């Protein structure tokens, strides 16, 4: 067993930018950080042989990156016909308006404030562009407006920040809610069991080859963290910052502000269920 295969979801090694499946190509944004990992994955998806492409999450407002995305599509003989957003965080969506200006494409998102054009995105929507089929999967939790996109022809799902290629994501309280997030993970698990999805194309980090393993790891991780938070409160650590210091003691302190968002979401969940 390789080291990568031993990690949750079996992350694919090698360079992140470039083709990931028959229909998906990643263009990595130059915004690496502790929160964004290697940077934002901007996905170009298209049906083989088609002259039209869909771009998911143009990323930050960085003209060099946006032009690189366009050039990558053009090199493959494609025109960007549509832009989609998994959610509205700036590292995914800040460049969308500029990208639409450069490409002439509409922007579709769940949040009306992020749309450019008349059409939004909702549960059950099927996007067909140039023969490509993408199915919209509502996955609130990381944020209220989080979506994933099921790419059935490649048995893949584009997850934004709902499932990352490395580590785990933040439940961005108060917009993000833990109960919603757990439901979303179960919805993704159903895709792996019932619809044959085996590849995760995440918003950050490497491609995951074992989608079901990744989702099961996330569910187990959340259950474990929730139990730790509950125990911390029982032991007198009442304030969110105290819980973070107790539960996330082994995590880089630069990530504690983000961890506190998840802790606040966990505390809300425990209160809602009468557990604290």
What DSSP string describes 106-164?
EEE-SSGGG-BSS----TT-EEEETTEEEEEEE-TTSSTT-EEEEEGGGTEEEEETSS-
Predicted local confidence at residue 246, as pLDDT: 93
Tell whether the model's pLDDT for residue 6 goes beyond 90: no
List, for residues 8-44, the tens digit of each pLDDT value: 999 999 889 999 999 999 999 999 999 999 999 999 9
Quote the pLDDT of residue 267: 97
Q: What are 225-257's pLDDT values in tens digits?
A: 999 999 999 999 989 999 999 999 988 899 999
pLDDT tens digits, 70-114: 999 999 999 999 999 999 999 999 999 999 999 999 999 999 999
| Percent of the chain predicted with pLDDT > 90 | 94
Residue 44 DSSP SS3 = strand
Average pLDDT value over all residues in the chain: 95
Please give the pLDDT value at position 2. 32
Q: Please state the φ and ψ torsions of residue 199, each to the nearest 5 degrees.
A: -120, 130
| Contact (CB, 8 A) for 270 and 262 | no
**What does the buried/exposed string (b/e) look like for 182-192 if buried means 16 or more CB atoms within 10 Å of the residue's CB?**
bebbebbbebb
Separation of alpha carbons 171 and 259, rounded Å: 9
């Amino acid at each position: 067993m390789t080291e990568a295969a031993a990690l949750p979801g079996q992350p694919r090694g090698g360079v992140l930018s470039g083709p990931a499946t028959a229909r998906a190509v990643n263009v990595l944004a130059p915004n690496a950080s502790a929160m964004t990992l290697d940077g934002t994955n901007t996905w170009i998806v298209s049906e083989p042989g088609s002259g039209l492409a869909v771009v998911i999450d143009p990323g930050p407002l960085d003209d060099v990156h946006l032009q690189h995305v366009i050039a990558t599509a053009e090199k493959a003989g494609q025109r960007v016909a549509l832009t989609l957003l998994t959610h509205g965080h700036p590292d995914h969506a800040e460049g969308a308006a500029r990208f639409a200006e450069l490409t002439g494409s509409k922007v579709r998102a769940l949040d009306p404030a992020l749309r450019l054009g008349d059409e939004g995105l909702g549960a059950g929507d099927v996007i067909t562009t140039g023969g490509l089929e993408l199915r919209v999967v509502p996955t609130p939790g990381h944020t209220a407006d989080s979506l994933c996109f099921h790419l059935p022809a490649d048995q893949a799902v584009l997850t934004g920040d709902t499932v990352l290629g490395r580590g785990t994501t933040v439940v961005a309280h108060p917009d993000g809610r833990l109960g919603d997030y757990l439901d979303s993970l179960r919805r993704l698990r159903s895709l792996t069991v019932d619809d044959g999805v085996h590849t995760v194309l995440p918003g950050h980090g490497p491609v995951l080859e074992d989608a079901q393993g990744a989702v099961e790891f996330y569910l187990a991780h959340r259950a474990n963290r929730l139990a730790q938070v509950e125990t911390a409160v029982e032991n007198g650590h009442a304030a969110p910052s105290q819980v973070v210091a107790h539960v996330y003691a082994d995590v880089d302190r630069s990530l504690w502000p983000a961890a506190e968002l998840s802790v606040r979401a966990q505390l809300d969940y425990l209160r809602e269920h009468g557990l604290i």
